[in-house]
Structure 1
Amino acid sequence: MKKLEKASGHLNRRDILRAALGGCTVASVGFGYTLSGGGKALAEVVADETARKAAAEHVLTMGLDATLNQFPGRVGTPHMSWIHGAPEFKAAIERLSGGRIYVEVHDGGALGGQAELLKKVQQGVVQAGSCSMQNAAQLVPILNILDVPYAIGNEQNFWRLLFSKEFNDTFRKGTEDRRLVVAFAHPWVRRVMLSRSVSTEVRRPEDLAGMKIRVTAAKLEQLAFQILPTSATPIAWAETFSALKDGVMEGLHLAPGSGYDTGMATVIGQIIDTDWMYNTDSIWLSSRWLDKLDEDLRESVMEAAFEAQTYVYNTYETIQRDTFGIMPDSAPDAGFLAAGTKMTFLTDEERAAWKSALSVESNPLLQQAVDTYGREAYELVLKVTAAQGGTEPVRWWKL
């Protein structure tokens, strides 16, 4: 076992599998090892996980569609951006419950992809899982309103919305009516990212004319690219890297961190801060499971969610600046910049052109979508994001 006593950033899944796991999952041990900061030998982490699971009254099964990253020296988070905060959530639940709840992690999509996983959480088959709000909109249509282009605006506006009573009473209630509880969220802003084969410098909507852009299943994203002078291209995620590299398509619309975490920096030549919608990655809880817990344990789980949300909030800017290298003050050796990707930051005039092209008022398709998914909710988003106010995390279930 001495060969396994390494810094956490240098361990991989094969190292962990070589250890006797004592009935714990690889992901659970990996999270425990990561949180120890390399201060414990792997064998000690395995023993700790085994003992905690055996002593617990309840086992919370948490499915994740991503795995631990293996980036030594990574700033902010040693794991993929779309499950940011998940290890801290596990640790907080076990600590705040006094060991009465053990969190067993299954990562890498072992329990299904995002949409399948969320259905399992809704049914109570799995107690917690990762899924973006965009994918969750298939079950909770009102969440589509969060994707109306430029309705939210910058990240501080999103934090203000997320911690508001209005969000709690409208969007969280919409999910809870479908037996889903948002534990915490990380709203990574999407940007237009172009292949290295594109020589045109894109700063205005018309610069995209004729380009094939990979889109997701998000309804409002698809509508936006129908409005823009592009060809929306539904390519499977697993094929996206090759499609960019081989010139099958010119770009994609994605939160840069997700692209960086999957090794796309080598094929991305430009990133433009169009910033009209988000990858609102989230961890969800089953209300069926939560409601069956004793009151003190329910409160422990929600306090753990608050701790995880606060952790995500506090590290959000650091990760974007120092890990992904997508901020104006990022160092030249950070993230995408180190790979030679050009970061394009739009002027106010250029951004106004994108806002005009994608305005709800001038696009019947967007007006129809707003009416379909909730005009009142849309007006609420505009009201909250336009107001002044704090963005600090609050205990939303007590509002």
Structure 2
Amino acid sequence: MRLKTTLITTMTALSLALAGTAYAEKVMRLHHLNNDDPFDNGSGAMATVFKSLVESGTNGSVTVESYPNGQLGDDAQVLSQLRAGVVQSGIHSVGGFASAYPMIGVLDVPFAFPDVSTTYEVFDGPFGDKLAADIEEKTGLKVLGFGDSGGLFAITNSRREVRSPEDMEGLQIRTMGLDTHQEVIRSLGGQPTAIAWSEVYTALQTGVADGQMNPIPIISFARFDEVQDYLTLTNHLFAPYVWVVSDQFWNSLDEHEQSVVKSAARSAIVAGRGISRIIESSERGLPHLSANMEVHALTPEEMEAFREASQPAVKEIIAEKYGAEGEEMLNAFLEAIEEASQ
């Protein structure tokens, strides 16, 4: 009897150990391009909040390993790893995500959003669902949501104040490698140049590029105020983070785990938005930049001149590149903005 009891006890312990191993195998490797400090940037806040909520909500059956600062590679490389099942999740810039889903360029209509709060309504609403469904169909990746990469874009340069499209004439402006981003600058009279993110500071410092465009928090934490003299608050683009998870990993989760992951991602996206707004308005954001740069906010009349110069050209690029399907998605995007703005 004692031997039988010992055998049962041993088998039970072994079963529990194997179960623990099975749980431990549900590791979610999460890629993003910035550091993991939740008070420093949006994606860091997203990764930190997500990890905490997933691990506590699943009692450790799913663990999250964050790989910040592009440790696993750039966005395009990680997207390949996601499809291969090597990486389980990634928070991607639109520039990087375009390698897997080129039609993300329909979001690049300049001067489309009246304010940053409208972007949240659009991407959290029916249009966001429509875009996510199309991404999932074309890439095989599950979309967890659309995060805030820092807010609406501004333009900086080292040569002169920019108040009109004419002031952009001849300025070499760094952009992402997206045709639509480059067309925004080209339509305004500037000369777009695609430079890898890791090389932007040096390019601005050495004069390889005169300027660049990014949201205020990114301009601040990248220390571009050290190599740029002029900041124009154009608010001309919003480039969301696209947060995806591999379909293979998603299907390995049970129903409860999937629910926890989805809920955690929603909370993490809200946290990322909040920290972006805090940084933007605090001494680490616009007030700090204003002390080192000459800042100009476009008046409604100035903004309309920029809109008239750039929107038709970008819409034409979208129609040519993405065809009827792209135009349909673009129209849905613009209709969603109009509805959210009312």
TM-score by length of 1: 0.73
Residue 9 of structure 2 corresponds to which residue in structure 1? none
Residue 9 of structure 1 corresponds to which residue in structure 2? none
Residue 3 of structure 2 corresponds to which residue in structure 1? none
Q: Are the equivalent residues in 2 in contact too, given 1:118–1:130 (CA < 8 A)?
A: no
* Distance (Å, rounded) in 1 between the aligned partners of 2:85 and 2:310: 39
1:389/1:265 Cα in 2 relative to 1: closer, same or farther (>3 Å)?
A: closer
1:92 and 2:50 aligned: no
* Distance (Å, rounded) in 2 between the aligned partners of 1:236 and 1:91: 32
1:181/1:270 Cα in 2 relative to 1: closer, same or farther (>3 Å)?
A: farther
1:214/1:296 Cα in 2 relative to 1: closer, same or farther (>3 Å)?
A: same
Q: Counterparts in 2 of 1:313-324, with a 5 A limit?
A: 313-322=273-282, 324=284
Q: Are the equivalent residues in 2 in contact too, given 1:83–1:130 (CA < 8 A)?
A: no
Q: Which of 178, 183, 188 is equivalent to 1:218?
A: 178
Residue 256 of structure 2 corresponds to which residue in structure 1? 296
- For these two proteins, the number of residue pairs brought into alignment is 320
* Distance (Å, rounded) in 1 between the aligned partners of 2:55 and 2:167: 51
Q: Counterparts in 2 of 1:58-137, with a 5 A limit?
A: 58-68=26-36, 77-137=38-98
Residue 330 of structure 2 corresponds to which residue in structure 1? 378
Q: Which of 205, 222, 227 is equivalent to 1:262?
A: 222
Residue 73 of structure 1 corresponds to which residue in structure 2? none
Q: Which of 329, 342, 349 is equivalent to 2:294?
A: 342
Residue 208 of structure 1 corresponds to which residue in structure 2? 168
* Distance (Å, rounded) in 1 between the aligned partners of 2:65 and 2:203: 36
Structure 1 position 130, deviation (Å): 2.4
RMSD, aligned CA: 2.5
Structure 1 runs of 4+ with >3 Å offset: 52-57, 79-84, 313-316, 361-367, 369-373
Residue 368 of structure 1 corresponds to which residue in structure 2? 320
Structure 1 position 59, deviation (Å): 1.3
Greater helix share, structure number: 2
Residue 148 of structure 2 corresponds to which residue in structure 1? 186
Q: Deviations over 1:326-370 (max 9, x none)?
A: 3xxxxxxx43234x1222111000000000001227974454346
AA aligned to 2:223 is: G
Higher relative contact order (CA 8 A, sep 6+): 2
Residue 197 of structure 2 corresponds to which residue in structure 1? 237
Secondary structure at the counterpart of residue 117 of structure 1: helix
Q: Which has the larger radius of gyration?
A: 2
Q: Are the equivalent residues in 2 in contact too, given 1:127–1:289 (CA < 8 A)?
A: yes
* Distance (Å, rounded) in 2 between the aligned partners of 1:124 and 1:133: 21
Q: Which of 225, 234, 247 is equivalent to 1:287?
A: 247
Q: Are the equivalent residues in 2 in contact too, given 1:81–1:261 (CA < 8 A)?
A: no
Identity of aligned residues (%): 24
Residue 164 of structure 1 corresponds to which residue in structure 2? 125
**216-225 or 262-271: bigger deviation:** 262-271
Residue 21 of structure 1 corresponds to which residue in structure 2? none
TM-score by length of 2: 0.85
